[in-house]
């Protein structure tokens, strides 16, 4: 389980105008909600969060929020970003309650050298994460998929994955995670009916030789070639 610390501040003012002022001041508006509490509006430093998100995968990281000395654990449930600017607009936190399981999406990571790839095959990854229900303190950073025995024409399904104890997989067990496909054969392009055929290049040297031989045959017997003029 990955953890990170983050300082936040409670705020009483809400609305679009307030949110714009916060962002202009270098802070991000946020909210925290949970099973055992009323939603509370927050704000946090933009630069601090951006640096933190470069180091952790936020979907599987438990954030220890420090709000004026009061600490609580939470998950980031949503990051709202600007449509075309590199700007975070809003953060949704879910407070974690001891003993209450949560649903998270955990990234998949392939390990091992596939025998199919060694034979020239190509692994096609269809699923990139797995949806699980787990105790927040047992959230895995990733789930590893061993592809060592994956041969050409074979697949790995959700039901084939081994997960840690206490982790409940929510995806369909028949869903395909990856396959090993045979390499595609490159075919020569077929000629298009009615397309013009490229003409063969004229052999100039051969034509020149034939012209010289014809000229020699036409000359009178015993005639000598004219000497070149000075």
Distance in angstroms (rounded) separating the CA atoms of residues 43 and 22: 8
* Ranges of each domain in the chain: 2-96, 103-181
- Identify the weakest region by mean pLDDT among 152-156, 197-201, 221-225: 221-225
Asked whether residue 185 carries a pLDDT value surpassing 80, the answer given is no
Q: Which of 74, 176, 200, 69 is nearest to 126 (CA)?
A: 176
pLDDT single digits (tens) 34-46? 877 789 999 999 9
Q: Taking the model in full, what pTM does it have?
A: 0.71
- Whether 217 shows a pLDDT value over 70: the answer reads no
Cβ neighbours of residue 64 closer than 8 Å, sequence gap 6 or more: 3, 4, 5, 6, 71, 72, 73
Q: What is the pLDDT of residues 102-154, one digit of tens each?
A: 999 999 999 999 999 999 999 999 999 999 999 998 999 999 999 999 999 99
- Per-residue CA distances from 33 to 12, 42, 45 (Å): 15, 11, 19
Q: Which fold has domain 2-96?
A: Ribosomal Protein L25; Chain P (2.40.240)
Sorting pLDDT into bands at 50, 70 and 90, what band is 230?
Answer: very low
Would the pLDDT of 199 be above 60?
no
Q: Please tell me which residue, 227 or 182, carries the higher pLDDT value.
A: 182
State the Cα–Cα distance between residues 175 and 156, nearest whole angstrom. Answer: 9
Neighbouring-strand partners of residue 177: none
Question: Under CATH, domain 103-181 is a member of which superfamily?
Answer: Ribosomal protein L25, C-terminal domain (2.170.120.20)
In this predicted structure, the answer to whether residue 86 has a pLDDT above a threshold of 90 is no
Give a three-class secondary structure readout of 98-122.
CCCCEEEEEEEEEECCCHHHHCCCE
pLDDT for res 195:
57
Nearest CA among 194, 178, 106, 189 for reference residue 146: 178
Cα–Cα distance measured from residue 21 to residue 207, given in angstroms and rounded to the nearest whole number? 85
Do the bridges between strand 122-125 and strand 176-181 make them parallel or antiparallel, or are there none, so unpaired? antiparallel
Question: Average pLDDT of the chain?
Answer: 85
User: Which phi and psi angles does 97 have, rounded to 5°?
Assistant: -115, 135
pLDDT of 29: 95
Strand pairing class (155-157; 176-181):
antiparallel
């Amino acid at each position: 389980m990955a953890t990170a610390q983050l300082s936040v501040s409670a705020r009483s003012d809400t609305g679009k105008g307030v949110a714009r002022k916060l962002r202009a001041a270098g802070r991000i508006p946020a909210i925290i909600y949970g099973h055992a509490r009323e939603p509370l509006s927050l704000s946090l430093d933009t630069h601090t969060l951006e640096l933190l998100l470069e180091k952790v995968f936020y979907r599987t990281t438990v954030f220890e929020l420090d709000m004026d000395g009061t600490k609580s654990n939470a998950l980031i449930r949503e990051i709202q970003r600007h449509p075309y600017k590199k700007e975070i607009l809003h953060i949704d936190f879910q407070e974690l309650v001891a003993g209450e399981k949560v649903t998270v999406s955990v990234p998949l990571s392939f390990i091992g050298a596939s025998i199919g790839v060694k034979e020239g095959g190509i692994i096609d990854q269809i699923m990139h994460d797995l949806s699980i229900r787990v105790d927040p303190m047992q959230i895995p950073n990733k789930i590893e998929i061993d592809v060592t025995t994956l041969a050409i024409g074979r697949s790995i399904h959700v039901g084939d994955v081994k997960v840690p104890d206490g982790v409940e997989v929510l995806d369909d067990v028949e869903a395909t995670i990856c396959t090993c496909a045979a390499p595609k054969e490159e075919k020569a392009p077929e000629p298009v009916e009615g397309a013009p055929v490229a003409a063969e290049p004229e052999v100039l040297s051969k034509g020149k030789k034939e012209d010289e031989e014809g000229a020699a045959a036409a000359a009178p017997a015993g005639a000598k070639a004219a000497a070149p003029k000075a």
